[in-house]
Amino acid sequence: MSEDRPHDVVLFGATGFVGELTARYLARTMPKGGRWALAGRDPAKLEALCGRLSSIDPALADLPRLTADASDSSALRAIAESARVVITTVGPYMAHGEPLVAACAESGTDYVDLTGEPAFVDLMYLRHHETATRTGARIVHACGYDSIPTDLGVLFTVRQLPKGGPIAIDGFVRAQGSFSGGTLASVLGAAAHPKAAADIAKRRRAAEPRSDDRRISSRAGSFEHCGAARAWAVPLPVLDPQIVARSAVALVEYGPDFRYRHRAAVRRLPVVAAAAVGISGLLLAAQVPPLRRAAQRLRRQGDGPSADVRERSWFTTRFVGRSGDASVVTEVSGGDPGYGETAKMLGESALCLAFDELPEAAGQLTTATAMGGALIDRLVAAGIGFEVCATPPSGPPSRRRPAVS
């Protein structure tokens, strides 16, 4: 990628809820000499954001500002051509994300987002992977709580186990937090068209190369009381298992026979029942336009949990890994998963692509295949825990609340 582009990093959607959190994170962590800019559709809001960022560093009052709408292909192409890495927080991605992916793929510009929408990731692979591979662009989706703790947590766990044999890993998620209007809109949008999403996923499976000498299985798993978690293991309808599978296919260190299961760990059965009712109701509402609009009014896009709520939020994902007679328990942990830590993960992903020495790669990638250990090191330095636990595989996920950096 050309080093003479005017910006190392451009943050698109900077004035949104997660966008501003990410801007604030970059304001504190951008390396000396790093060249970055804010982008969005409203110049007045961008100017106001720069004013707020100036409380962190007075020089940020004059931070470069780029104007573009998410549907303006020519303006997005200009942004992509000006940057080495583009971050976008503008969702729902299925509705608003493709023009920027296309611009980055065509311009050879690295791209990161925080989508958790499987159909969007699959469709972008079908439409833009080959172009990105040709131009050298690294298109990396799911660089927030979806799906960094899982993808990099599995990679971290694999690296604690003996090499060369079959590997089985179970992931157990626990979290406390709230949601923003943007997250709600993405969930409703992703659930609104299940048949179309299934068709896109089928087309991707047909288009992707397959390995004849390795077996890869990654899925949500079944509902059961699990001794390894000492809790009810509840399947989660999220993107994470698919991301893990793509990392496993690309990285031979996952072994010749790799299996991953991804579930929530819930100790009380009534909580499981209440969650099932709530999720079922949300999925039903997503199918019916009037109900979907009513559900969206629960929280408007641009709104999110307060600083106090975020301060009390946390997550842990515990991994139980086995290879032959060897076993290991690891844990990834942090503070507010959906917003504070997501902004951190998103920002560090962009900084990693912009400034770290990484393996040659291009096309649609995962965080494990694009950045791997370099990003783990950054996240640990930023206060997210990656650790091998002393607890044996029969022990429960941690009850402690992780320290918030």
Contacts of 74 (CB under 8 A, 6+ apart): none
What is d(CA 162, CA 148) in angstroms, rounded to the nearest whole number?
A: 23
Q: Say if strands 36-40 and 65-67 run parallel, antiparallel, or are unpaired.
A: parallel
Q: Which region holds residue 84: left if phi is over 0, alpha if psi is between -120 and 50, else beta?
A: alpha
Domain assignment present for residue 403? The answer is no
What is d(CA 240, CA 262) in angstroms, rounded to the nearest whole number?
A: 8
Domain assignment present for residue 79? The answer is yes
Domain assignment present for residue 19? The answer is yes
Domain assignment present for residue 15? The answer is yes
Domain assignment present for residue 167? The answer is no
Specify the 3-state DSSP secondary structure of 166: coil
Query: What is the per-residue pLDDT across 199-237, written as a single tens digit (0 to 9) for each?
Result: 999 999 999 987 778 999 998 878 888 877 778 888 888
Number of C-beta neighbours around residue 298 at 10 A: 13
Domain assignment present for residue 37? The answer is yes
- Say how many domains are in the chain: 1
At residue 233, the pLDDT reads 87
376: pLDDT strictly greater than 70? yes
312: pLDDT strictly greater than 80? yes
Give me the CATH number covering residue 349: 3.40.50.720
Token pair 């990834």 is found at: 332
Sign of CA dihedral 191, 197, 367, 9: negative
**Lowest mean pLDDT: which of 176-180, 261-265, 314-318, 364-368?**
176-180
Domain assignment present for residue 43? The answer is yes
Number of residues in the chain? 405
Range(s) of the domain holding residue 45: 7-144+342-370
Query: What is the per-residue pLDDT across 138-158, written as a single tens digit (0 to 9) for each?
Result: 999 999 999 999 999 999 999
Query: What is the per-residue pLDDT across 79-121, written as a single tens digit (0 to 9) for each?
Result: 999 999 999 999 999 999 999 999 999 999 999 999 999 999 9
What is d(CA 73, CA 195) in angstroms, rounded to the nearest whole number?
A: 28
Report the predicted TM-score, pTM, of the whole model to 2 decimal places. 0.89
Most distant CA pair in the chain, distance: 61
What is d(CA 345, CA 320) in angstroms, rounded to the nearest whole number?
A: 23
How would residue 403 be classed by pLDDT, with cut points 50, 70 and 90?
A: very low
Mean model confidence pLDDT for the chain: 88
- The CA distances from residue 150 to 49, 241, 393, in Å, are 32, 8, 18
Token pair 């293991």 is found at: 233
Amino acid present at 368 = A
Amino acid present at 207 = A
Specify the 3-state DSSP secondary structure of 214: coil
Instruction: Extract long-range pairs of 370-376: CB within 8 Å, 24+ residues apart.
Output: 370/138, 370/140, 371/140, 372/152, 372/155, 373/155, 373/159, 375/148, 375/152, 375/348, 375/349, 376/152, 376/155, 376/156
402: pLDDT strictly greater than 50? no
Domain assignment present for residue 361? The answer is yes
